[in-house]
Amino acid sequence: MTHTRDILKIAIPSIVSNITVPLLGLVDTAITGHLGAAAYIGAIAVGTSIFSVCYWIFTFLRMGTGGMTAQAYGAKNWQDCLVSLRRGLTVSTILSLLIILLQIPIAYFALWMMNPTTEVQTYAQIYFRILVWGAPASLGLYVMNGWFIGLQNAKAPMTIAVTQNLLNIGASCAFVFGLDWKVEGVATGTLIAQWTGFILALALAVKPIRKLRADSSTTPISQETAITWGRFFTVNRDIFLRTLCLVAVMFSFTAYGSRLGENFLAVNAILMQLFLLVSYLMDGFAYAGEAIGGRLYGAKDKEGFKQLTRELFVWGGGLSILFILFFVFGGNAFLNLLTDNAQVLDLARTYMPYIIAVPAVSMAAFIYDGLFIGTTASRGMLISIAIATLLYFAVAETGMFLTNKYQHQDLNCISYSFLLTANHWLWCAYLLYLFTRGAVQGILLKLGKTK
């Protein structure tokens, strides 16, 4: 039995939802770019980074809720579908209230770490103080989106994302250009959009909740026991630790580039945009693996799960080939769209082969992530990313050490330019990190040691 139709039913709406994320960032930058001072752009960038990190570490709310809901759905355990939503929203509410209560130390620590100029810091604090009140809505949306995906419904998250982002753009423009607000306008527009998106999610959930309640009345009701709560926290704890590893790699990648100088920092930032392009599309198929894989796992359909895995790798492989061809033949043109700095462009072309390799080495990691989330194999995800992270830092630090040690010596060998360019080591470390995640997950899945 083929799962192609089900895969595309989840993947396509998820890809559309993902694409709206960078679009919103571009619009916010464009709005602040017309306010007359560079400090406004910097403030939005700093404020957005704070919330990105703050919320990113809580993505377990989406992943854990999605995986457990998909399994309950596959097992026709309608009561547990409702329980997973209730628990997710309970935890997200508690965490968001903690963020609001701790907003002053969070903002102080984040700004101390980033060390922006005084003017940027002032505007960033204004942005943060307004938008922090959107924490309950933002974390609540993580839960709602995961729950909808678990119910095999990717259209609801797409509807929410498109509505939320269009409203964000319209409200921000109205406040900034209509009422002549500055950073306050962008923050208020985003806040309104966040709460509107959450309210819309709750409204869209009414119908499936009623159906699940009606269906659960005819099936045995599972009790909310301490063991069940223990499983909820165990799964989400592993995903939380996995996310910390992911955050450490992404932030260190930027930090390493910063140590190498402005040009390398700029080049890596530009090339990372190409990687994000890959991730937005690959994540669509990861979501399909999460939703359908969890359902098949809950239904104990082992053959169906194996067939789904094969089909996802076919789709992922085909998408990887298309990306490779795009980067080979259109990569330079895409780089020209991102910058017109000749020096940065020349340097970026030097590192383009690494981006060409990204789709091939990262595809398995994306596909397996979705399957592991769907089966709540969070321990396997944590083990794989922990090993990959250790290898990444080992290679990156080796490159930094060798560069610092030999850069002033006259070495006559073929590897001279590579040996003395830490950025080559950095990209090799990142590719190894992506490959190792998928390879270890594949081995764990084959050995049946994912839990």
Kindly report, residue by residue over 86-105, the tens digit of the pLDDT. Answer: 999 999 999 999 999 999 99
Count of structural domains, the chain: 2
Domain final residue pick, 173, 188, 222: 222
Angle, CA of 90, 91 and 95, to the nearest 5°: 120
What is each CA distance from 204 to 157, 188, 201, 214, 292, in whole angstroms?
A: 10, 24, 5, 17, 21
Query: Do 214 and 251 fall into the same domain?
Result: no
The mean-pLDDT minimum among 154-158, 230-234, 376-380, 385-389 falls in 230-234
Q: How many Cβ atoms sit within 10 Å of the Cβ of residue 302?
A: 10
Query: Do 2 and 82 fall into the same domain?
Result: yes
Confidence of residue 371 (pLDDT cuts 50, 70, 90): very high
Under 8 Å CB-to-CB from 132, ≥6 apart: which residues? 99, 100, 103
Query: Do 149 and 214 fall into the same domain?
Result: yes
Query: Do 93 and 187 fall into the same domain?
Result: yes
In a domain, 312, yes or no: yes
The mean-pLDDT minimum among 176-180, 289-293, 380-384 falls in 176-180
Which among 156, 188, 57 is positioned nearest to 110, based on CA atoms?
57
What is each CA distance from 441 to 86, 88, 211, 385, in whole angstroms?
A: 30, 26, 36, 9
Query: Do 218 and 244 fall into the same domain?
Result: no
Query: Do 195 and 251 fall into the same domain?
Result: no
* Residue 416, domain extent: 237-451
Query: Do 158 and 252 fall into the same domain?
Result: no
Give the pLDDT mean for 218-230.
53
Tokens at residue 381, please?
């995800």
Query: Do 207 and 306 fall into the same domain?
Result: no
C-alpha of 167 from chain center: 22
Give the pLDDT mean for 289-307.
92
Query: Do 31 and 131 fall into the same domain?
Result: yes
In a domain, 229, yes or no: no
If you search the block for the tokens 């099936």, which residue do you land on?
219
Percentage of residues in the chain with pLDDT exceeding 70?
A: 87
For residue 204, pLDDT over 60 is answered with yes
Where is pLDDT greater, at 450 or 333?
A: 333
Query: Do 257 and 347 fall into the same domain?
Result: yes
In a domain, 228, yes or no: no
Instruction: Compute, in degrees rounded to 10, the torsion defined by CA atoms 96, 101, 104, 110.
Output: -30
Region class of 409: left (phi > 0), else alpha (psi between -120 and 50), else beta: beta
- pLDDT at res. 407: 62
In a domain, 386, yes or no: yes
- pLDDT at res. 30: 65
